[in-house]
Structure 1
Amino acid sequence: MCGDGIEMLPCSHVGHAYRSSIIWNDQLREAEKTVSNSYRVAEVWMDEYKDLVFERIGNYTLKTGDVSKVKKFKKENNCKPFEYFLEYVTEIVHLYIPVNLKAKGAIIKPDGKTCLGNCNLNVCLAECKWKGYWQFWEWSSDKEIRQGVNCLIPKENNLVEISECKFNKFVQWDYREDNLIKNIDTGMCLTADEENKLKLAECTGHSEQIWIWERTIKSITNSRRALK
């Protein structure tokens, strides 16, 4: 973005070793520092796309700190916009870019307290936290229910799971006006049984099949207009 080059160097494996959480009691945790760094990168380099990072991380209490020096560097060096970066990278590798979404945010049961979540790649129902990527879902323009590269998909015995989109079929869903989530290929609806376990079942419209998506295409469109 700033006209630099790329060097081909021997590969290395780099990891981030977090300290014990006991050491960091009552202090800023290492994970929070990592999130704060992500905020800083987004604030400086991602232009209007930065909101995609903020809403997925969800912890709006963290601050970016002073990024004025980096923004000054960006301006003085006539760095290209993030849109240029996306266009360049997508010529080399396919990327999922969450634009033109049909719905996004939490998928909530009618009680307003229980949300659809990703529990280590298992679909689960849990108390709504209203922050954090694990309860943030997107209904893409291709009708996939996504979390990044992963999709909600049907599996054997009418169960559902989360798996990488490109390796799976039957990933298209409809979010209907009656608040049912219907898998297009199977014709069955996402259902929470009496034990709050998730499965696919015949679409009946009963309460266990009702889902409220936090922001649908209408509310997304309105929020974009408000930003202009």
Structure 2
Amino acid sequence: MICGCSRTLQGMHIYKLRGAGKSCHGNTTGVIVAVHHKCLVCRGSFSRRLREDQELRRNVFKCLQQDTSGTVQRQLNRTPAMIGCSFVVHRKFFGEIGLLDPGMDVYGGENIELGIKVWLCGGSMEVLPCSRVAHIERKKKPYNNNIGFYTKRNALRVAEVWMDDYKSHVYIAWNLPLENPGIDIGDVSERKALRKSLKCKNFQWYLDHVYPEMRRYNNTVAYGELRNNKAKDVCLDQGPQENHTAILYPCHGWGPQLARYTKEGFLHLGALGTTTLLPDTRCLVDNVKSRFPQLLDCEKVKSSLHKRWNFIQNGAILNKGTGRCLEVENRGMAGIDLILRSCTGQRWTIKNFIK
């Protein structure tokens, strides 16, 4: 198992240990300060080029000590998880909760697993702002040529053990089917047994008491790329965000083409939002005036019916407010348009349905 390559500067440990010493079940981490791998600049804290090693130590230490306002903070702040694997924890408690998951492979996921596990199993996780960790990240991670695969694998492992009814969020985010995702996450029976023996709380408690800002997508019925039977090589795509108009684009299955159909009949398009503090994915709207489908903030659309759609697998996508269908129009050499018009029998299929 490999965590981020970090170096904690001397003199920073004392605050971390004092904070962690307040409770045997506390897990304390410092603030990670990113350092550019070429010019060794502390992002957001220090802005000139550092050349000699002695100068590097002196100036990086300076930017680690102070926040952006120039003051040092010593108050512990609760956090649902942590960045990387630089933390202080009581050894006995760490052992009782199973250390880090030995089933994680190559890179990613262990910090999220630890954060969720600590909270659900009787502990707490806190950040001590005056403890700073400089992180010089390599331009290219040397562990494996396919880091993305292992990031997905480890995320699914966390979801299966700890996230209960919310595990679907991870599958949706990665555009993977809930059944047979094609990724072997290894045996998780021991981790599930550990959770049961520790009598840990459920993930709903974590959302209610630790991370209420996390967006919840349990209303999802179907997700993935949306394809039309008249143009199977292109998919529904959010297009340039500033245009606020959905388009058709060659299929690649990444974030801009992640469609999500909900129980309420909303059709969202784009990568999942993370917290309620940031904008959510926009939804498809028929505003009556335009022949092109609009992509807008669902909560700001006043007409409920104009943002609701009837859709079944291999069927039409029909707007409940206008009766118009989402269809493709082939203009020959001029390309293919995504339009709204009277239904002509075109059919749409989406990659994944939740049973």
Please indicate the TM-score interval, normalised by the length of the shorter structure.
0.5 to 0.7
Shift of 1:85: 3.2
Distance 1:174 1:50, change over 3 A: same
Max radius of gyration: which structure?
A: 2
Distance 1:17 1:185, change over 3 A: farther
Letter in 2 for 1:153: V
Residue 336 of structure 2 aligns to a residue in which SS? coil
What per-residue deviation string (whole Å, max 9, x for no partner) do you get for residues 20-61 of structure 1? Answer: 5xx87x8223x3443333223212211344244225414644
With structure 1 as the length reference, what TM-score do the two structures score?
0.65
CA RMSD of aligned residues (A): 4.2
Shift of 1:136: 3.8
Distance 1:120 1:10, change over 3 A: farther
Q: Counterpart of 1:19? A: 139
Letter in 1 for 2:308: Q
In 2, Cα distance between equivalents of 1:40 and 1:16: 28
Residue 237 of structure 2 aligns to a residue in which SS? strand
Shift of 1:191: 2.3
Q: Counterpart of 1:77? A: 198
Q: % of aligned pairs identical?
A: 25
Shift of 1:198: 1.5
Q: Which moved more, 1:50-59 or 1:38-47?
A: 50-59
After superposition, where does 1:56-75 map in structure 2 within 5 Å?
56-58=173-175, 60-65=181-186, 70-71=191-192, 73-75=194-196
With structure 2 as the length reference, what TM-score do the two structures score?
0.46
8 A contact 1:40–1:67 mirrored in 2? yes
- Is 1:34 aligned to 2:158, yes or no? no
Q: Counterpart of 2:260? A: 138
Residue 158 of structure 1 aligns to a residue in which SS? coil
| Number of aligned residues | 208
Q: Counterpart of 2:336? A: 196
Distance 1:49 1:213, change over 3 A: same
Distance 1:41 1:178, change over 3 A: closer
Distance 1:67 1:19, change over 3 A: farther
In 2, Cα distance between equivalents of 1:3 and 1:205: 58
Distance 1:165 1:94, change over 3 A: farther
Letter in 1 for 2:307: V
In 2, Cα distance between equivalents of 1:142 and 1:183: 12
Letter in 2 for 1:4: G
Letter in 2 for 1:191: E
What per-residue deviation string (whole Å, max 9, x for no partner) do you get for residues 144-176 of structure 1? Answer: 112443222346743234344323344222227
Residue among 284, 289, 293 paired with 1:160: 293
Shift of 1:99: 3.3
Question: Any unmatched runs of 5+ in structure 2?
Answer: 1-119, 273-279
Shift of 1:189: 2.1
What per-residue deviation string (whole Å, max 9, x for no partner) do you get for residues 100-123 of structure 1? Answer: 63x444422115544323456563
Residue 155 of structure 2 aligns to a residue in which SS? helix
